Each structure stands twice: as structure tokens, then as C-alpha cells.
Amino acid sequence: MQLHVGADAARLMDKQVQLAAFNDGYIGACFVEEERVTVCWVMRERLLKRIGASWESQSAYFSRQSGHLRVLLEDATPLFDRPLAVAGIPYGFLRSEIIAPNVFPVGDQLAVIPSYTGDGNAIALFSGVAAAQALLAGKESTSYQADMMGRLRPQFRWANMVNYMFEYRASQRLAIAAAARFPGIVTRIAQSTRIKQFEDILKL
């Protein structure tokens, strides 16, 4: 959902990314172009069925989860008739099977990283360049996919762990307490969920 927000929310959002976790999901918000705020969230199906799919019911639920979200949403004007939604996202998917020797899957057709630890755009760009280079070098998709799986598996192990921790209230509290006490851990874990060796693949 995109929003026009009130003055209090604009001050709250200035140069900030707001992130809130709730049981069975999480939500983030930040300013984008044209002074709009984009709000994105992930929730399990059982929670969606309980609170309803409309923006009115979901925004009311979010407002109860966080004081910052309440400030953000209370005077906001939604810019869409309803939230844009995708269902059944296969978080953690890594395509190890070969489609065909001359088919080079890229982006989400190759790997779907959990959005909270998101490196999806980087993986899409990285895999696109790698696929183009493999094709120009006369390689088959077998070697391309084997290389990509080797690069992505360590990153995905960390990303899946972090995503799981932020889906449930008990593990959320544990993670937040650990981050508050040892903030350096947050940086190291964030780095571990990012694709590495961009320089290698971009040497043309």
C-alpha cells in the first residue's frame, strides 16, 4: 500500500525506515518518491483469515501493534483502492533442478529469499548478469546453476533463520533483546544475508 501521511507521521518517517514485528508476520514502511510512504507487510494465512483482507481491517490491526504504526496510519490517505497482494511466496526456494541445458533461470525463478532479509533485487541483477555471461561463454545452464547455488546457499541459511525468528512473538523478543545488548550482531547477520562477490561476476 502507498499512503499520503499527516505531519506527525512525516516527522516520524523522516530519514527513517519503520519496522514492526507481530505474531505471524512483520511490516515495514519508508518514504519513496513524490512524498509517498510505501508500506509492505508479510503475514501468515491464518492471521489474514482472522483479521480480514481489506485495508481498513488490516490497518486497524497494524495500529494496535505499534505506537509508531498508529501515528503513521491514523491520518494517512491510502492511494490504492486495496492493497496489492501476492500469495504463496515460496520463501527459501533454491532451484537446483535443471529446466533445460539452454534455459537459465534468474531472479525469483532461481531463488526466493525472505523479504525481511531482502536481497531479492540484488540476486535478480546478479543472476541476470551471471546468466548472460554463461550464455556468451557457450556454457550450459548446469554449470551456471551449480555456481549460483554454491553462492546462495550460505546466504539463504542465515536469511531463513532470521525470517523464522521474526515471525513469532517469543523469538521476536529474544532477537530484539539480543540486538539491543549486542548491536554488532545485527550488522554481522545483515551482512551474512547479502550476496557476496559482486565484483567477480561483474568483470566483463
Tens digit of each residue's pLDDT (9 = 90 or more) over 76-92: 999 999 999 888 889 89
pLDDT for the residue numbered 197: 67
C-alpha span between 4 and 179 (Å, rounded): 32
pLDDT above 70 for 180: yes
CA angle 172, 19, 188 (to 5 degrees): 65
C-alpha span between 64 and 192 (Å, rounded): 32
pLDDT above 60 for 132: yes
Who contacts 79 (Cβ-Cβ below 8 Å, separation ≥6)?
1, 2, 3, 4, 36
C-alpha span between 135 and 144 (Å, rounded): 9
pLDDT for the residue numbered 142: 95
pLDDT for the residue numbered 178: 85
pLDDT for the residue numbered 158: 85
pLDDT for the residue numbered 200: 67
CB 69 within 8 A of CB 18: yes
Taken as a whole, the chain contains a residue count of: 204
C-alpha span between 43 and 169 (Å, rounded): 13
| Overall average pLDDT of the 109-123 stretch | 84
Who contacts 138 (Cβ-Cβ below 8 Å, separation ≥6)?
none
pLDDT above 80 for 117: no
What are the C-alpha distances in Å from 14 to residues 19, 142, 187?
Answer: 14, 47, 22
pLDDT averaged over the chain? 88
Task: Give the H/E segment covering residue 61.
Answer: helix 55-65
C-alpha span between 32 and 38 (Å, rounded): 7
